[in-house]
């Protein structure tokens, strides 16, 4: 019996690629460049499984094509707003993701961004490297501390809780949060985390706001100009979720006018392009989507995909099926 044909759309950790090559008739993207939509159509007519990631775009029109062979999309990542999941499901194509394994490293990065933004780390390094630093003085590059401040979290799932835990027990931060469903468990009670009735109330109460909600139409521009105006003048926005959750131009305006103190961003609308205005600002930290970028996590993500497609082709329901 022939092995299922599998296409991996980007290069993955070597250990995972070895497993894929051993279990399936696998094709790798040696150029490691995102596929065009035309290339995706061809791939889905030629392969039993396609393994995409966040750099790929799979709109509804992709699934309207005749003669599709693909039966499963094993997404490399927990977020899947780059895939029209409803259209995939209507076409009879299963979709899976990789939850759980990137919780800690993404929470670590959220805290990294908080510290970098509040302590003006990027600005300080740029000053030093350019030779502009004139030496220590009492008023040089004053920032803000995390200890004792209020952290507001939008989306109290795995990553939101992990971020809150680090902030509360590591820095003594008070935790408030907004979540669409009630969250009342031992972990949130141990942190004395307070669930707010609305995002607006949470924003007004917070010194730092960290986003941990899904992207897509439901949450597009969740943090817009009106909501940014509710934040404290000394507050910071931290986004390790999805770029479209924040209205970027409204954020640029808030940062430019100093109506908020700063921001730390790891994700962007339309990435890898950086939205106009952001790179010119000193009060924003910009990272190139590093949330899950540890060798341990990326390998674990890849093995999650292997587990999902192996189950599927063995006739079982994939453990991380979303459609």
120, 165, 227, 242: the active-site residue: 242
Does 226 qualify as catalytic in the annotation?
no
Structure tokens given for 193: 């985390």
Residues 6+ apart with CB under 8 A from 74: 49, 50, 51, 96, 305, 308, 309
How far apart, in whole angstroms, are the C-alpha atoms of residue 82 and residue 76?
Answer: 11
**What does each C-alpha distance from 28 to 76, 79, 304 come to in angstroms?**
14, 22, 18
CB-based burial label for 288 (10 Å; 0-12, 13-18, 19+):
exposed
CA atoms in the 13 A half-sphere facing the CB of 135: 0
CB-based burial label for 182 (10 Å; 0-12, 13-18, 19+):
exposed
5, 57, 221, 289: the active-site residue: 289
Q: 242: how many CB neighbours lie within 10 A of its CB?
A: 23
Longest dimension (CA), the chain: 74
Beta bridge partners of 210: 153, 238
Beta bridge partners of 177: 153, 195
How far apart, in whole angstroms, are the C-alpha atoms of residue 239 and residue 230?
Answer: 17
17, 194, 271, 307: the active-site residue: 271
**What does each C-alpha distance from 51 to 44, 97, 239 come to in angstroms?**
11, 10, 26
Does 289 qualify as catalytic in the annotation?
yes
CB neighbour burial string for 142-161, b if at least 16 within 10 angstroms, e if fewer: eebebeebbbbbbbbbbbbb
What ranges make up the beta strands (E) of 136-276? 150-154, 174-178, 194-195, 208-211, 236-239, 262-265
Q: Which residues are marked as active site?
A: 242, 271, 289
């Amino acid at each position: 019996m022939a092995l299922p044909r599998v296409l991996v759309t980007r290069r993955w950790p070597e250990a995972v690629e070895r497993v894929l090559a051993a279990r399936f008739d696998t094709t790798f993207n040696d150029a490691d460049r995102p596929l065009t939509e035309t290339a995706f159509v061809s791939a889905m007519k030629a392969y039993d499984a396609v393994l995409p990631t966040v750099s790929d775009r799979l709109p509804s029109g992709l699934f309207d094509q005749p003669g599709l062979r693909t039966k499963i999309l094993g997404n490399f990542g927990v977020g899947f707003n780059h895939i029209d999941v409803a259209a995939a499901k209507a076409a009879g194509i299963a979709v899976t993701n990789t939850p759980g394994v990137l919780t800690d490293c993404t929470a670590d990065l959220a805290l990294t961004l908080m510290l970098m933004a509040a302590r003006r780390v990027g600005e300080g390094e740029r000053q030093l490297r350019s030779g502009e630093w004139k030496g220590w003085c009492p008023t040089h590059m004053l920032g803000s501390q995390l200890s004792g401040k209020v952290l507001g979290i939008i989306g109290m799932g795995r990553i939101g809780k992990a971020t809150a835990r680090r902030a509360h027990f590591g820095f003594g931060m008070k935790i408030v949060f907004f979540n669409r469903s009630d969250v009342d468990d031992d972990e949130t009670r141990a942190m004395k985390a307070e669930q707010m009735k609305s995002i607006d109330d949470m924003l007004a109460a917070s010194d730092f706001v960290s986003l941990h909600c899904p992207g897509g139409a439901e949450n597009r521009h969740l943090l817009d100009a009106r909501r940014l105006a509710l934040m404290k003048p000394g507050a910071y926005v931290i986004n390790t979720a999805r770029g479209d959750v924040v209205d970027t131009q409204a954020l640029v305006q808030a940062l430019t006018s100093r109506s908020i103190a700063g921001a730390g961003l790891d994700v962007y609308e339309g990435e890898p392009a950086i939205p106009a205005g952001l790179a010119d600002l000193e009060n924003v930290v910009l990272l190139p989507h590093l949330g899950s970028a540890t060798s341990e996590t990326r390998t674990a993500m890849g093995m999650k995909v292997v587990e999902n497609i192996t189950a599927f082709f063995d006739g079982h329901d994939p453990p991380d099926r979303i459609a």
